[in-house]
Amino acid sequence: MKNITKFLCSISLLFSSLFLLAHGGEDHGDSKPKANATPKNYFTAIAVSDVYELLLKYEPIKPSENTHFKLFVSDFESNKPVENATITITSPENDKLKFEVKQLDNGIYEIHANFPDKKKYSLTVNINSALGPDLISITDFEVGKELPILETDVLVKDSFFDKGWVLIAIGFLGALLLMLVFTKLKNKQVNATFLIILVLFGTTPLPTQQLQAHGGEDHGSESKSGGNNISTSMEVLKETQFLFNVYTKKIAISNFTESTKLFGTIIPSSSGQAIVSAPQNGKIVSLSVNVGQQVKQGQQLAVIEQNIDAAAQVNLLAEKNNVNAEYEAAEKEYERLKTIQDIASKKELSEAEARYQKASENKKLFNSTGGKTIVLKSPIEGIIGNFTFSIGSTINSNETIFTITNLSKVYIEAQVFDKDAEKVNTGVRYTVECTNDNHKTADVKLLALAQNINPTNQSQRVLFEMENKDGEFKIGEFVNISVFASQAKKQIAVPNSAISELNGKSILFIKDFAEQYSLVYVSLGENNGSYTVINKGIEEGERIVTSGTYQLKMMYLNQ
């Protein structure tokens, strides 16, 4: 048994030394490339001016062979692709070179050429488009250059533990040790040699997670891709930028007008809504309009036949007698003056004639309806709302029959608190927008300042007037009102579309180079509904992304 114990001890010491040597043989110097380097199968060359940004992409080019490569042309400030550009290319190194340029897509041009020599060329690009003419030189265009081979910082492939037989031997040795443990425990024979074996195997590292054994080291200035220091930069291919409409804007200090936001509700104007009710009890005998129909002021809507009792019949008979009496008196007076018109004044004759015509119309109307019907007419121009009455329906006195709405002009009732009251009174411009941002208008003016205070929340009710000829805003709709101050301040402000949020913090995306963007955290200031002041985080002259921010955020989170 002692010999077996000594043998196991020797084997354990041997494997322990091998485990300790298994991690060696690596170069941790600074000359090693980063582990997270992304290999590419093409070269790039960038050239910019105040107007254009040019990006040249080409695969390794062999001398004296026909080749083609792509040129991406975009607006330097907005990053929008430049289409229908006239491009001619020459090379100072060889004035006999011919370049054929063909547009493939918006902002993407294909260039065909044949380079005779293996050397570095420079390309002079003469470009003209809607942005204007420009002459740009692209350098570092090398013919015959091969792509670099990227090495990755990994463990030595031919590790001792890559051998399968070693693992089998370790498993067999572990089984023998386990049998020895049970034997010693059973016989209660635990000596110093056994304890040494147990300690050696207990402290020997296992080779099952070789990649984790490589962590926790300082490799100089090399960053760890799996650490907590996540890069704020990312690469976005030019094709992707054009596809997702990633547009930019150059930051500049400009005038920023502060604004105050109010919450309001659309209400009808003074002549924007009319309710037509039944003056008496009766029955609808005629309908002249339909739901949703456009009507004019004074247009007939319906005819109602009154329900007449005995007392009403007496009144009706008396009214009939009055109508007939008025007609007969007017007729006699008019006929008398006509017989003496030579000596009668023209004024008396005109008044008699007007009285006679009016009496005739009243008598004709009374006789045609029997005095039992009432004609309902529209008091305003507008659209008929929903109604649930039909011909033959019985109605009660003062019961609403029609609702007519005219949305060409509406009022906005806004709640204003004490802290904003002075800003509203001194505001010079007012805009209103729907809460879902589907439509906007700037034709808003202050109609009336607050005349009373809501006792519930002590807010003031201010009235605005808005032109709504297209009828986009509806009665009862909630809106936001922006009150702009009279003076502007010089500040850095960005469009609200450029601002995103990450981990509860406001961010902007900045374009660093043609295909490189970076994320920055910013501190926000005043927001006037369209632009927001940036207190900290960006500087004048940087190019921020104003369109396509959501797509860039998803790319950043997925990298």
pLDDT tens-place values along the chain, 559 residues long: 555 555 545 555 445 444 444 444 444 444 333 434 466 789 999 999 999 999 999 999 999 999 999 999 999 999 999 999 999 999 999 989 999 999 999 999 999 999 999 999 999 999 999 999 999 999 889 999 998 875 554 444 444 444 555 566 666 666 676 666 656 655 655 555 555 555 555 555 544 444 333 444 444 434 334 444 567 899 999 999 999 999 999 998 887 777 778 888 999 998 899 999 988 888 888 899 999 999 999 999 999 887 766 666 667 677 778 888 888 898 888 888 888 888 878 888 888 889 989 888 888 777 765 557 788 899 999 999 999 888 988 888 889 999 999 999 999 988 888 777 777 877 778 888 887 666 677 678 888 887 778 777 778 888 899 888 888 888 998 988 888 877 777 889 999 999 999 999 999 999 999 999 999 999 998 887 788 999 999 999 999 999 999 999 999 998 8
Q: What is the pTM of this model?
A: 0.54
Rounded CA separation 169/209 (Å): 18
Q: Position 197: which residue type?
A: I
Q: Position 325: which residue type?
A: A
Q: How far is CA 476 from the centre of its chain?
A: 25
**CA separation, residue 148 to residues 42, 222, 513 (Å):** 10, 19, 22
Say what the pLDDT of residue 501 is: 94
C-beta separation of 416 from 459 below 8 A:
yes
Neighbouring-strand partners of residue 543: 250, 511
The b/e string for 86-108 (b: 16+ C-beta within 10 A; e otherwise) is: ebebbbeeeeeeebebebeeebb
Which 3 state secondary structure label does DSSP give 52?
A: strand
Rounded CA separation 156/23 (Å): 8
C-beta separation of 526 from 494 below 8 A:
no
Neighbouring-strand partners of residue 55: 46, 72
**What is the maximal distance between C-alpha atoms in the chain?**
163
Please give the DSSP secondary-structure letter assigned to residue 453.
B
Say what the pLDDT of residue 160 is: 47
**CA separation, residue 50 to residues 40, 77, 78, 512 (Å):** 29, 8, 11, 15
In this structure, the dihedral spanned by the alpha carbons of residues 546, 552, 557 and 559, taken in order and rounded to 10 degrees, is -140
Question: Cβ-count burial of 347 within 10 angstroms (0-12 exposed, 13-18 middle, 19+ buried)?
Answer: exposed
Say what the pLDDT of residue 451 is: 79
Say what the pLDDT of residue 373 is: 77
